[in-house]
Amino acid sequence: MDRDVVLPAGYWLVVHETIDSTNAEAARLAQQGAADGTVIWARHQTAGRGRHGRRWQSPEGNLYCSLLLRPEAPPAKAAQLSLAAALALGDALDDLLPAASRPAFKWPNDVLIGGRKVAGILLESSGSHDGCLDWLVVGCGLNVRHFPEGTDHPATSLHAAGVANAVVGDLLAAFVHAFAGWRARWQRSGPGPLREGWLARAAHIGGEIAVRLPGDELRGRFAGLDAAGALLVDLPDGSRRTVSAGDVFFQRG
């Protein structure tokens, strides 16, 4: 029941049975002046989307939510909250999964179980005249009962991973509580704790990756994240490349 979803102080829940996209609704509410901490939750989306406008399949039974934030930060700094969202999802899943299935992260926005994508994160924002964002939307889709087939990166769900008793409302509450904690650490201490926490769960670190960029592709070794959370890639010629946006694919030997 919705009344059983208790969010931390400073966060408010807006529930829809069906909506086009929780991110789109969060953006609409932001433009209407909705407060920081507004959380939109839908049981079904008719036009869910991922990065680069990709369609996000949204059958009922999974978690679809978006957090509307007003971080009073420039875009590059606010983007670090993607790490907070991944860490919060990892924390929310830890108590449900055995240690061997501990969630891992794939840069920039995926959460994996057993090497398969179980959740994705989508940040969207709008700027203002002073160089800081007017608002930031952190959207999350978590595969609880269902997962898509035929995706670029293999997917899974909590049910497929053996977690048959997962309750969507409980996962939402756990995620928002964990996010609030990581956001508070970010506000106090900057990106360092987020970077360290993310790297502790990083998948394939030190391994060979391909990074798909607009009109280009890099191949090299996943060396970690820089101080701001950008991807570091060691190239075959010995140089190091910093990547702020791109799609990562693991290379197997």
Tokens 């953006």 locate to 27
Q: 70 and 111 share a domain?
A: yes
The confidence score (pLDDT) of residue 99 equals: 80
Q: 126 and 225 share a domain?
A: no
Q: For residue 168, what pLDDT band results from cuts at 50, 70 and 90?
A: very high
Token couple for 57: 């399949």
Mean pLDDT throughout 7-28? 96
The confidence score (pLDDT) of residue 131 equals: 87
pLDDT tens digits, one per residue of 61-96? 999 999 999 999 999 899 999 999 999 999 999 989
Q: What is the CATH number of the domain that holds 219?
A: 2.30.30.100
The Cα-based distances of 52 to 76, 122, 213 in angstroms read 18, 10, 12
Q: 158 and 242 share a domain?
A: no
Token couple for 35: 């407060």
Q: What is the CATH number of the domain that holds 183?
A: 3.30.930.10
Average pLDDT, the chain: 91
Q: 224 and 111 share a domain?
A: no
Q: For residue 56, what pLDDT band results from cuts at 50, 70 and 90?
A: low
Mean pLDDT throughout 159-169? 92
The number of distinct structural domains making up the chain is 2
Q: For residue 3, what pLDDT band results from cuts at 50, 70 and 90?
A: low
What single letter denotes the amino acid at residue 78? A
Q: 115 and 237 share a domain?
A: no
Q: Which domain holds residue 12?
A: 2-199
Q: 131 and 192 share a domain?
A: yes
Q: Quick check: 125 pLDDT over 70?
A: yes
The confidence score (pLDDT) of residue 121 equals: 96
pLDDT tens digits, one per residue of 29-51? 999 999 999 999 999 989 776 55
pLDDT tens digits, one per residue of 148-162? 887 778 999 999 999
pLDDT tens digits, one per residue of 176-218? 999 999 999 999 999 999 999 999 999 999 999 999 988 889 9
Q: 152 and 83 share a domain?
A: yes
- Residues contacting residue 149 through CB under 8 Å, at least 6 positions apart: 155
Q: 167 and 245 share a domain?
A: no
Q: Are strands 110-113 and 12-19 parallel, antiparallel or unpaired?
A: unpaired
The Cα-based distances of 177 to 22, 92, 181 in angstroms read 19, 9, 6
Q: Are strands 208-213 and 216-225 parallel, antiparallel or unpaired?
A: antiparallel
Q: 97 and 212 share a domain?
A: no
Q: 39 and 95 share a domain?
A: yes
